[in-house]
Amino acid sequence: MTLPYLPFARPAIDEATIAVVVEVLRSGWITTGPRAREFESRLSEYFGGRPVRALASGTGALELALDVIGIGPGDEVVTTPVSWVATANTIVRAGARPVFVDVDPATRNIDLALAERAIGPRTRAIVPVDLAGLPVDRDRLYSLARAHGLRVIEDAAQSMGASWRGRRIGSFGDLVAVSFHANKNMTTAEGDCLVVNDAAEADLVERLRLQGVVRSADGGQEVERAGAKLNLTDVAAAIGLGQLARLEELNARRRALARRYFERFDRALGCDLPPADFENANWHMFQILLPLERLAIGRGDVIRLLHAAGIGSGVHYPAMHLFKLYRAMGYGPGRFPHAERVGASILTLPLFPAMAEADVDRVCATVRDILRAHSR
């Protein structure tokens, strides 16, 4: 019997949400309107009453966050090389320089001790990333930021529903960008929200997400600062409202599946498993590090063999300082050995709420068979 293909991610959209999307489509108001405003209000409640603005993409949220704190030419921003390349690309597009530091080999998140050593006279901000929804140590992060007078932009793209010591990510701190891409713990198909500190920052984001236009009551318009086109539509917001209502349920299922992975994964294979954090992490992804030194095949071969067995997987993420763009800035092999090991060997396995325990067992068994068959 041929088993159905198992992707590494799949959104969990219920029929009630689909019905609301249809209702929005039939309403005639499909761009930013009442649903988007309601979504922002519900998100603000979720984040403890902090101001929130919904946006069209996670990349856009990072761009606007950098703009809000005034990052520009001559500035430096400390960040991690293990993330989706948007984290650093937005810094470059702001005219600033990303200052990479290595990751902690246990958490795969930015090493905050190294981050502190990388702070110089031009450093204006730090952008940590919660890889796979495992939060960076927020106590140490904000202690560092206060000591050096830095702004923080939390790239919390993957950590919706995660927490730090009982406090929801986004309910405290500085600027927080949370993604609602299709593979995230909750989705709007494409989209994001930016959690800010006060009404002034919220008003600025609101202007910048729609070309910087300020409208007056008499129909006049003024632009003092160049913006972008990053408003979230009501169609997307309708999806988001349905997802937000189910977020705790969806994340609970992810935690249960992650526990199953730990129970069933063959530790003798030599793979590094993620930290077993069931207090703070939201289990956005389940990622292993392949023991490439023990294999006669490479990661690409493992991916192809998994695909042939009907199992999807992903690479999240290559070490971005090795991309041509950043090599041209002076980065290169050997600078960040932990990040390079993670980037070369990381493999994302299927994890999404609709999976059954048997699906986890199937993935674990298939990975075991592939690695055993191709061990040195």
* Listed residue (93, 283, 262) closest to 183, CA to CA: 283
Beta bridge partners of 289: 272, 346
Annotated catalytic residue within 50, 97, 124, 184: 184
Cα 366 to Cα 363: distance, rounded to the nearest angstrom: 5
* Residues 6 or more apart whose Cβ sits within 8 Å of residue 268: none
**Helix or strand run (H / E) with residue 114:** helix 112-117
* In contact, 303 and 313? CB cutoff 8 Å: yes
Q: Could you tell me which residues come within 8 angstroms of residue 230 by beta carbon, excluding any fewer than 6 positions away?
A: 55, 56, 57, 60, 61, 63, 64, 208, 209, 210
Burial of residue 309 (CB within 10 Å: 0-12, 13-18, 19+) is: middle
Q: Locate tokens 């990053």: which residue?
A: 230
- Check if 229 is active-site: no
Phi/psi of residue 82, nearest 5 degrees: -105, 90
Question: How far apart (Å, rounded) are the C-alpha atoms in residues 12 and 351?
Answer: 12
Using CA atoms, how far residue 261 sits from 8, 54, 147, in Å, is 14, 34, 40
308: helix, coil or strand? helix
- The tokens 């590094």 sit on which residue? 272
Q: What distance in Å separates the CA atoms of residue 293 and residue 296, rounded to the nearest whole number?
A: 8
Decide if 133 contacts 284 (C-beta within 8 A): yes
Cα–Cα distance, 346 to 287 (Å, whole number): 7
CA-to-CA dists, residue 96 to 91, 100, 231, 236, angstroms: 6, 13, 25, 32
Catalytic residue ranges? 184
